[in-house]
Amino acid sequence: MILEAKDLNYYYQDGEQRRYILKDTSVSFEKGKFYTILGQSGSGKTTLLSLLSALDSPHSGEVLFNDEDIKKIGYEKYRRNNIGIIFQNYNLIPTFTAVENVLIPMSITENEIPEDTKSVAYNLLDYIGIVKSKADRPVNKLSGGEQQRVAIARALATNVELILADEPTGNLDEEMEQEIIDIFKKLAHEHGKCVIVVTHSNEIALQSDQAFLLKKGVLASYE
């Protein structure tokens, strides 16, 4: 088990009332598998991903990475060394080139990275489908699909085992969506990564090794 969530609770205080987004949610994930978390808008799936990726903290419960509480690891350190995050709207630095965006996490992480970081960044981009000529362009000059590939390359740049993606294909057309999903499958099955994707798409959920459905704050297996 690479990642485990235990009894997570997350709510908004609405006067005297607590409006629960997640209630006693527990789930676990293994390496080498491609997971999806399915749910409608407002179901709490993005909140769950935020807690799993330490972008936010739960009101109660814990998230264990390799059996260690991420709070103890330190949220910042956990994000820096243990996970790669992909966002629906890519969240790239618009004034930097694609390769520069990939280089950023390499300078932040404490993981071992080959010395020639620039070559590693170009190779990663090439592997994801961004050729060198495009890698040197500012990311805001690339298409949506290309930008999401750059975001995936950035998530892989620190050589982490856990990739978390929030609606990564939400802004892409069907053809591009499938290409991205194929990359995730390849990362899980060929490179042994644990890939967790939050989505509202049944098609993507059906392609995953295991899917969960989040409804009214409660997580259940989705068959």
Q: Using CB under 8 A, list all residues that contact another protein.
A: 46, 50, 53, 55-57, 76-81, 85, 87, 91-93, 95-96, 100, 103-109, 117, 154
At 97, phi and psi to the nearest 5?
-75, 170
What is the closest distance, in whole angstroms, from the C-beta atom of residue 222 to another protein in the complex?
A: 24
Select 146 or 167, whichever has its Cβ closest to another protein. Answer: 167
Complex with another protein: residue 33 or 118, whichever CB lies closer:
118
Per-position DSSP letters for 129-161, written without gaps between them: T--HHHHTSBGGGS-HHHHHHHHHHHHHTT--S
- In the chain, which ranges are E strands? 3-14, 17-29, 34-38, 60-65, 68-69, 83-86, 162-166, 194-199, 210-215, 218-222
Tell me whether residue 104 or residue 218 sits nearer to another protein (CB atom). 104
For another protein, which is the closer residue by CB, 46 or 169? 46
User: Least separation, in Å, of the C-beta of 169 and another protein?
Assistant: 18
Minimum distance, C-beta of residue 223 to another protein, in the bound complex (Å) = 30
Q: Is the dihedral of CA 185, 186, 189, 191 positive or negative?
A: negative
Minimum CB–partner distance for residue 55 and another protein (Å)? 4
Q: Is 32 left (phi over 0), alpha (psi -120 to 50) or beta?
A: left
Bridge partners, 92 (sequence order): none
**Residue showing tokens 């390799």:** 66
Return the number of the residue (2 or 211) whose C-beta is nearest another protein: 2
- Supply the minimum distance, in Å, between the C-beta of residue 217 and another protein: 17
* CB-CB contact of 108 with 76 (8 Å): no
Shortest distance (Å) from residue 197 CB to another protein: 17
d(CA 17, CA 169): 35
C-alpha Rg value of the chain to the nearest Å: 17
Nearer to another protein, 132 or 174 (CB): 132
